[in-house]
Every structure is written in C-alpha cells, then in structure tokens.
Structure 1
C-alpha cells in the first residue's frame, strides 16, 4: 500500500510538488470523508464504516492504510483517530467548510 508522496508524479501532475501529492491523496474515494468523520470523534473500523454510509470494507481498509502511512491517522485507545498532522490538515480545511455553507445558502433553489 502506498500513498502519493511529495516528489512523486501523481495523476494529473508530474511535478512532484507536495500540494499535488496531497490533492491526489485527498482526491481518492472516501479519503476526505474518513478524515472529516474522524474530526468529529475517533472511531472503530465498524463505527467508521457506518458513519461513512456505503463505503466497502476493502476500500475503507485501503484508505485507512494510506492515511496512516501518510501520518494523518493513528490508532488510539478508542479506535482510529487523527494524528497531529491530520488535525492540522482538518483545521486548514475548516474555512473551506464555512465557505461551502455560505455558498449553499446563496444558491438559488432549483425549480
């Protein structure tokens, strides 16, 4: 199991820039959802699978491995939890969540 690392060519970019490796990792199915759910609270595998509504066990296992390898997750007393790097990443994403809430409030409802 391997995640894209800074310096690696990734889907859509051969530059090896750290931001491109991060975007590749976060763009994988369920990666952001797993991080967001663990931002709410630590979780066991089964609890996390239930909270992610519809993720297959094999995909969840793969994502957990990649996110652990990227040092964004760790195993804690209550199951999987964000590492210090993972908490920092989610904190950086919170302004985007606020922007999305504002955007949704401004959208004109569909007929």
Structure 2
C-alpha cells in the first residue's frame, strides 16, 4: 500500500473507531430513515450528546445524511456497509468459536523436558517432606541418618 492509501485507511479507521460510530452506521444499514430518538434507541446506551457528536462527524465524512424522515446512510455510507457486510457472518462464526473455546475443558500443557515432573527428583536432590522436622544435618528422609561426629578433642 502506498503512503497515500495508508493515510486514507488510517483516516477512515480513526473515524470508525470513535465510540458508537460503527453502531450508528449499523443501526442505519436497513435503509430506513430514523429519527434522532429512534436512532438513539437503535444504538442503545448512547447519550444524546455523544449521538449528536457522532452524527455530526459521520455527516461531515459524507456517510450519513439528514432528511425530512430522519437520518439515513448516504450512497457512500451504503457502500461502506456493503463492504463490511461480511462482518455479520464473521461475527457469528467468531462468537461460536469463543463459546466453544470457553466450554472446552482446560487441560494442562504437556510437561516439557526442562521442567522436572513431580515424581522425579530435582537435580539438587530430593527435598524433605513437609512433615519431616527440620534439622541442621543434610540427611533426607530417603537416606539413613549419619552418626554424630566424634569428639576427638580429649
């Protein structure tokens, strides 16, 4: 893509990334003009101030127009949504994949060769069991205790 094409895509994405912009366009996709109140209900959760701002931006961009019946998509807005029409099919497939992913049982990853398994001793040797009392000698539960050092000072 050329720098000019990248700039155009970036500019369009910046417009569409604005909060509720895509939802306003999507609410108008059926071709029927909508009043401000109906459009607000169609988008859902949008404040009047935010809707006014989005409508203004989309009108300045040539994607939405306002007529006697209310707001509707321009030919350019219809073209954009036609190009995004696969979004609905993709969203349905994507959502099913997300549901399957969430429902799949979680299996632990297979042990790697660098991580010792719980049943094999670590390279430093076996660790004492939690129930074994701690002592200053280096004996482990699997080896017999060594005899105390002899006092040869006498």
TM-score of the two chains, using structure 1 as the length reference: 0.80
- Higher share of residues assigned helix: 1
Aligned-residue CA RMSD in angstroms? 1.8
Would the alpha carbon gap of residues 103 and 16 (structure 1) be closer, same or farther in structure 2, given more than 3 Å must change?
A: closer
The worse-fitting range, judged by mean Cα deviation, of 96-105 and 31-40 is 96-105
Aligned residues: 98
| Residue 18 of structure 2: aligned partner | 28
Larger radius of gyration: 2
After superposition, the C-alpha distances for 1:3-55 in whole angstroms (9 at most, x for unaligned) are: xxxx7xxxxxxx97100000000000010000000113321001111111111
- The 2-side partners of 1:19 and 1:81 are apart by 23
Q: Distance in 1 between matches of 2:89 and 2:6?
A: 30
Is 2:75 the partner of 1:70?
Answer: no
The runs of 4+ residues in structure 1 deviating greater than 3 Å are: none
CA–CA separation in structure 2 for the residues paired with 1:16 and 1:92: 18
Structure 1: which 5+ runs fail to align?
1-6, 8-14
Gaps of 5+ in 2: 104-154
Secondary structure at the aligned position of 1:75 is classed as: strand
> Hey, what does 1:105 align to over in structure 2?
96
Report the CA distance between 1:105 and its aligned residue: 2.1
- Give TM-score scaled by structure 2 length: 0.59
